[in-house]
Every structure is written in structure tokens, then in C-alpha cells.
Structure 1
Amino acid sequence: MRRTFSTAATAALLGLAAGNAAQAALFAVDSGPYGTDTGGFAAWYQDSHGRVLDLCLSRAISSRVPGTPGAPSYMCTLLPEPGVYDDTQPLAFPGNFPSEAFWFTADAFIQQGGINLAYGAALEAAFNTEQPVDGDQISFARIRLRVDLTTPGSYTITHPYGIEVFTVSAEDIGNDGVNAINQTRDIGIGAPGVYTGALKGDVGPFLRSVNGPYPETNPDTGALELFVGDPNLEEKATGSPFNTNYVRIQGPNGLDLRTEVFAVSGKLSALQRPTPLIIQRSTYSRDTDESGAPVQSQDVFVQAPPPPGNASFKDSAGASVTMTETSGTGHWYGQSEATPEPLAELEVSADNSAASPPNPPTSLTTPLVDQVTIEQAEYSLGSGQLLIVASSSDRIALPVLTASDAAVGTPIGPLDEGNGALKSLDSVISSIPPARVTVTSANGGSDTEEVLIRP
């Protein structure tokens, strides 16, 4: 089976005018020190929506779904294992501790029309040795898809954290089609005791039940705890960074099935953390219209918690601009029509104090830069000629544009040919062509493109 992870399709789901569709899934992780109460693991992870989830080790029981003898309806995903972890006894590391634990899980299933699909997203704590041994602790973000099917062809699976495209052959359908699609992607496994790798995974922000959070009492401490979902229930969830709060499979012969319910687990931390704020872009443009009147804007894009959180920035004139978020995904945009001051430091703020527990407001500064666009980057093998054509969004000042080799940073030269905003560099270079070039503006903007190689 061939699998293609379609990052372009994933980016398209965002629909961001920012031009930066990179998913900032998780925002921060406990930096330690790590205690035996969490088995030497990071106590918590925070997502870009501001929610902080503790490592879910509570033996709190669901008040909505009754358990059965020997199988309590835990609010955390606890996995008993003979000789390793006895869930009827208090937790103790390393003597009575699960070999796997989770900060977050979300599972969904589709069983219809000959399709048997199982989806899982998780932020997991585990051990390199697969047994609770101090010094072997690791964490990772997991996306898992397993699908039984009987028809070869191309299948597209959309889920809360992206899009996967699979080509399934007749050979893959062998064994009655069981696990014809079988993908597990774990991101973040690094040196034991280092938990930052999972921040770069595909999981996050954390999904949560639309009916939560759920309060339950921890029988070991008597404390009331809050959970983002009940893993014993299948319910609608929200929190997808792409607003795709479902799992959908499309395939041959018009196949199109979906589910919007998930079994979600995660324990909300009592820890107060600053409001997450990621500045994606702060650019300006200016020009004149046909009558000579100025046409200008300052545009800021950030990622921060969605409403009831809020975001704003102060433009280069010092005026406050309220930013807008419309999809519930945490992507904010704001524009000022004040005269831009190139390279001015803008103050950007986000406030998620309405969260539970509150996230104190965060303010960051970012330079206001022009937007550089490379229109053409070509190299001729026959003549050794390198042609770069680019422009700045500043059509008034016409800042100096300079090209460099993107891989090594070696200067190539200024783009000083052409009239108006479109500038070019056309020169013979003696070395091999650069794979990519970067054009940088004196007013702070830059763009990088691959070089087209011609005969």
C-alpha cells in the first residue's frame, strides 16, 4: 500500500489568507523537574487554545456510564497489566505503574457498508523498554488509522488533524481486507526524559466533548477533577485546528462515510499558564491609486485561543486594532489602514482569562515588515545565467531587494534592474545553481523559492 500525506490538502482546509498554514498543534510542555507522582514524565502539556492537560492517572469513575466487574469506567485511559500495573491498587512508581499512559486520547469508529474503520489520536507516555523503568520515559503524538475494506482504489480520509490519501492495491486487500489500510504515525520520540518532541506532532489542539467538561471525584485524593471528555461515551467533539471535527472516508464507487462522534479522554490541569500566542505574520503594503491617493494597510495574523478569548494589536501609529476570529480554530486577523512605519515594533496581545483555569494575558512585539514576492527564479544550464525577479509590497519607498542562496546564505547580489516595483537580477554565476533562493528586503520582508532549472 502506498500512502501519501497530503500537506497541501491539509493546508487548504485552513483557508488562511496569512499564507502560513503551519499547524501549531501544541504550545508548551512541563519543563520539570519530574516527580515519581507522574512516573518521571512531564506533568502536563498545553495546546494552542490554552488548555492544559495533566498526565491522566486518576482513578476517577464516570458517573454517566456504569462499569462492569473488573472493568471500571475510568475517566482516564488506564491499562491494567498483570505483574506491572494493578488498577485496584494505588499508583506507585515504578512498582505499580502502567506501561502506557496518556495526556489525551480521541477515538472514532465507522462500521458501515463493508468498511470497518478505527481512528485514534493520542498524546502518549511510554517506556523504551515497554516496562516502567526509570530513565526510559518517552512521549509522542500518535495518529493511527486501521481500515478493513474489500475494494482496491484511492481512499481519502479526513480527520480532525489532517487529510490522508491512500492507494490500496489488490494485494493490500489480501487476508479478507483486514487492515488494508494500516498507518501509525508517532512523532516526538527522542532521548528518554525529553518531552519537547511531541510538540511538533500532528495532535492538537486537544479535542473536547461539546458536553464537557465533566467533573468527577478522584477516589484516592477526594479532589474534584475536570475532564475534557468521557472515554466511555461517544459524543460530538470540537477543537480541530481545521474545523474538521469528524472522520470521513471517501473512495471508489462513490464511497462517502463519516462519523462526528469521538470517545475523548483528558484531565484538565489546575495549573494556570499564560495565554498561548503565536505571531504568524505582521506585514504592510502601500501604493497609490489612479488619483494619487494613498492605499495602505498593516496586516497581522496570529494563532491564539478562540472566543471567548480575544486578540488585538497596536499599529505603528499606536492605535489599538481588535482582531477577528470566525471559525473557532484560533486563527485571528486584524488590519489597520494607518500609515505604516517600516520595521516599527508592533505590540500584539491575546487574552484567554475566561478559560478555566484562567490563562493570564500575553503580549509580544513583532516588527512590521513588507511582503516580498519572488515572481521568477530560473537558471540556465547552457549559459550559466541566473534570473531572479521579485517585488515588495512597499510600492512607495521601493526598498532595496537582495538575493542569497537559501541553503547556505551566500549573497548573490542586489535586484537592481527594472522599473517600478518589479526588480530583477540577471547574472552569470560560475558555481552550481542554488536549489533555492531567498530575496530579502531592506524593510524586513523576505521570500524563498525553488529555482527552476532550464537547459
Structure 2
Amino acid sequence: MHPLLSKTTIALIVSALAQGAAQAALFAVDPGAYVPANGNFAAWYQDTHGRTLDLCLSKAVSSRVAGAPGAPAYMCLLNPSPGIFDDTLAIAFPGNFPDEAFWFTGDGSIVDAARGIDLTYVSAVEAAFSGGDPLEGDQISFARIRIRVDVPTAGTYVITHPYGVDVFNVDTPGRKAINMTRDIGIGAPKTYDGALKGDVGPFLRSLNGPYTETNPANGAVEQFVGDPNLEEAFTGSPFNTNFIRIEGPGGIDLRTTVMAISGKLSTVARPTPIIAERSTYSRKAGSGAPVAQQDVFVMAPPPPASVTLTSNSPVLNLSEADTTGHWYAQSATNPTLPSTLQVTADNHLAIPTSSPTTVPMPLTDLVVISQAEYNLHTGQLTVVASTSDETSPPVLTVTSGTGVAIGALSGDGAVKSLTTGISPIPPAKVQVTSSNGGTDTEEVVIVQ
């Protein structure tokens, strides 16, 4: 289905993942030990929404779609390959093992013959072999986004999909004028953590699932997040873009809200994933006492999961945005520093085997650099920065982007500045760090 390292003829990619938002995709991968039953691949990946998918090698078939003779409607993508993998025989590594297998796939298409558009879209977390054929020591994994489109005219095309936005300038229209494959995570054989940094994740899932089927090879009852034999409405996009859309010249604007999804839910019990993003405070003078607030941001599974600031009194519930897994809360507590918050995420309502997870989050002030400027004529570097702590301003110090100490900012209030000579060349970046933990980095503007 997906050639491993196919060459791509890419119409100039002007912008990839123009969403601009940081995406936490996959959260964890099986650390081993790896076993031949899985081809010595990682048994599972877990996403930031808490779902854990096994390497999909089950021979369970769909109870919704009838298979054709010699082509069962498998719930996993088990593509036979003559001389390499015979799906009618027992899976055994390396003698009868797929040359590619998947923890997850989400595939879709848009075809409009009248407009001359034929789009195929692939998202996957894939297991393959660096040499092509199954061989011990050649195992690799990666996260893939593939977009191929026949387009009728030259111009700029914008493709929005569940895992981002890609923009293409097409000079030569026609068949596969857009032909892009982005594989992230291919590293040394049998190292599987590279895919955690890919564009795929959290895992998409059918709105009609999960589906329960029986594996005829062992009689096990298994669950799947989708049926790859069906195109269905789905959810799970980290950007809430649960569709594929193409916009282009001449008013082209086409979309689909259905995809074919595959992925076998694991029975491995995993803690609820949670990623600390920011915990900062601010305070200013008030009538009688400082006016303070604490702002807490984390990523965790969306509802029905819950996230609480357990170190607050009383315990404070965080709010989630649009089922994307971004959580936020604000407390009016005036902190005593140093302070470390405790945030707990619990996803057992969605995944009964999931246990709560608590993470510590050191509370810091918020530092903002408003000026970082170097004058080539005078050789002077000027840095202006502020702290969110207006009542007890901490010490602010400046270092270069490479960590070389430059000096301390001065000033009586929350806004402080430093002007100093730097030679022989200016730093490319400066970092301002507060004695209360806050930090900010800014590129230095060069002026004459």
C-alpha cells in the first residue's frame, strides 16, 4: 500500500503544517523487550489522548463488509506479497511476515472528475524494513503523511487535513502534480521513538467505533478504532479539522468528512498521558493586598477525562477546549515562592485500564522581552524585558543564545533594561532569565 522510501516529485511546498500550533502527537512507545510475534517491532504506541494501539497483525475480518474470494476484509492492513507474505498462512517472523505493517492508518480521497481533481491522502504509523524485505536487524518505524493530487491548472493549492495544512505552488498541472510524502522517525534499526516526533497523532477513530471482532487465528475478542474497509465520519484531529479539504484556482473548494481508519486497541494498561505546558503567576498592587493569578496549561486526553489542579485549595478543575486535549485553569491564589503545583489527569471513564497521572509543575513568573537591539555603529546591545511579578520584582539576567553571560538588567519596577558594549560581533539571540524561574528568548535586531 505504501512504498517504503518512494521518491517524491514535490510541487514547491510553500508551507507545511501552516497551522502554526505546536502539536503533541504520540506520547509513548513500547520500550521492549521486542518479540518475534511482532516481528521484533515495538508492540504498541500510545497517543496524547490516551489510546494505545498494537501493531495490527490480527486476522479478524469485518462484520460490516464482505470480503471477496481470496481477499478477506481484514480489520488490519495485511497486504499479501508473493514470496514474502502469504496471508492464508500463519504469520511468522521472518519467514512469513508482512514487509509493511501498521499501528495506525487513516486514508481518504477526493475525486471530482468535472473539476479535474483526484486527491489521495494517507496518514500512518508504519512498521517496515530498511532493506525492503523482512529481515532481523532491519526493523524501522515512522509516521507518514502522503498527499497526491491530480490538478487541472497551475496555481496555489491549500490542503487542510486532520494533522495540519500543506500549501503547494503548482507550475505544471496534471497527474500527480502534487506528490508529497513526509516520513518522520526513520532512524537506526530497532529504535522506534523517532515516530513520536512525527505529524501523526493523536490517533483518528471512527465515530461509529470501536468495533469488536474475533480473531480466527486464536479466538481472541479484539477491538478496533475503525474499519479500513469503510470510509466513515471520524474524530481525533488535534486541530479539530476532522476533514480533508482542497482549495485552489478557479474557486476549487472540495472536502470530505469520511476516511478509512485502522488500528487495533491494545490491552496494555497505561497511565493517563499528561504534558505540562506552562504554569506562571502574575501579581500587582491592590487595595490592601496584591492582586494575583496563576495560569496553568497542560495537554491531556479530552473529556470524559478530567484534569485537576490538586495542589490548589480547594481543588480546581481545568477546562478543555474543543476536544483537542488542551486544558487551562486560573487560580487567584497569591503564591509563596518557590512553589510547585500538582496537576492530575484521569482518563479511566474513556479507558477503564488507564490510571491517574500526577505531574509537578514549578510555578514561575512570566518574562517578556520587549526589545533586543544591537547598534552596529556604537557596538551597544540594548535589552528591555519585564516580569509579571510587579510587587516583588525578581532579578533579571541576560545571556546570549549560546549561554554566554552578558549582565543583569536594572530598574526599580517590573520593567528592566540593560545597555552594554558587545564585541566583536553581536549575539544572534538573547535570553532573559528571572530569579523566580521565568525565561524568554528573542532574536537580536541589528540596526545601523
TM-score under structure 2 normalisation? 0.95
- Tell me the residue number matched to 2:52: 52
1:445 maps to a residue whose letter is G
- Tell me the residue number matched to 1:183: 180
What SS does the corresponding residue of 2:189 show, helix, strand or coil? coil
Q: Summarize the alignment of residues 229-244 of structure 1 with structure 2, pairs less than 5 Å apart.
A: 229-244=226-241
Q: Summarize the alignment of residues 378-417 of structure 1 with structure 2, pairs less than 5 Å apart.
A: 378-406=373-401, 408-416=402-410
Superposed CA deviations along residues 289-323 of structure 1, whole A, max 9, x for unmatched, are: 5x5663211110000011110101135x6431110
- Tell me the residue number matched to 2:84: 84
Matched, 1:65 2:65: yes
Distance 2:79 2:283 in 1: 60
Q: Summarize the alignment of residues 184-333 of structure 1 with structure 2, pairs less than 5 Å apart.
A: 184-288=181-285, 294-315=290-311, 318-333=313-328
- Closer/same/farther in 2, CA of residues 423 and 128 from structure 1, 3 Å limit: same
Displacement, 1:454? 1.4
Displacement, 1:357? 4.5
Distance 1:5 1:363 in 2: 37
Q: Summarize the alignment of residues 6-17 of structure 1 with structure 2, pairs less than 5 Å apart.
A: 6-7=16-17, 9-11=18-20
Distance 1:244 1:150 in 2: 26
Displacement, 1:341? 2.4
2:406 maps to a residue whose letter is I
Counterpart contact for 1:270–1:357, Cα < 8 Å: no
1:202 maps to a residue whose letter is D
Distance 2:60 2:446 in 1: 62
- Tell me the residue number matched to 1:157: 159
Percent identity between the two aligned chains: 61
1:321 maps to a residue whose letter is L
- Tell me the residue number matched to 1:124: 126
Aligned length: 436
1:396 maps to a residue whose letter is T
What SS does the corresponding residue of 2:37 show, helix, strand or coil? helix
Counterpart contact for 1:343–1:444, Cα < 8 Å: no
Of 145, 148, 152, which aligns to 1:143? 145
What SS does the corresponding residue of 2:356 show, helix, strand or coil? strand
Of 423, 427, 432, which aligns to 1:430? 423
1:334 maps to a residue whose letter is A
Counterpart contact for 1:47–1:204, Cα < 8 Å: yes
Of 332, 338, 342, which aligns to 2:333? 338
Superposed CA deviations along residues 87-141 of structure 1, whole A, max 9, x for unmatched, are: 0011000000000000000001001121111001000000001000000000000
Counterpart contact for 1:271–1:357, Cα < 8 Å: no
Distance 2:209 2:424 in 1: 61
What SS does the corresponding residue of 2:320 show, helix, strand or coil? coil
Matched, 1:3 2:5: no
- Tell me the residue number matched to 1:28: 28
Task: Note the residue ranges of structure 2 that are not aligned, 5 or more in a row.
Answer: 1-10
Matched, 1:454 2:447: yes
Distance 1:393 1:292 in 2: 19
Distance 2:232 2:439 in 1: 45
- Tell me the residue number matched to 1:18: none
What SS does the corresponding residue of 2:176 show, helix, strand or coil? coil
Of 431, 434, 439, which aligns to 1:441? 434
TM-score under structure 1 normalisation? 0.94
Matched, 1:167 2:169: yes
- Tell me the residue number matched to 2:4: none
What SS does the corresponding residue of 1:179 show, helix, strand or coil? strand
Counterpart contact for 1:99–1:131, Cα < 8 Å: yes
Counterpart contact for 1:3–1:164, Cα < 8 Å: yes
Matched, 1:370 2:365: yes
Displacement, 1:430? 1.6
Counterpart contact for 2:128–2:140, Cα < 8 Å: yes
Counterpart contact for 1:384–1:430, Cα < 8 Å: yes
1:331 maps to a residue whose letter is H
Task: Note the residue ranges of structure 1 that are not aligned, 5 or more in a row.
Answer: 12-20
- Tell me the residue number matched to 1:16: none
RMSD: 1.2
Superposed CA deviations along residues 315-350 of structure 1, whole A, max 9, x for unmatched, are: 5x6431110013101110011001122330111100
Distance 1:453 1:29 in 2: 44
Distance 2:406 2:46 in 1: 42
Distance 1:185 1:284 in 2: 39
1:414 maps to a residue whose letter is A
Between stretches 258-267 and 423-432, larger displacement belongs to 423-432
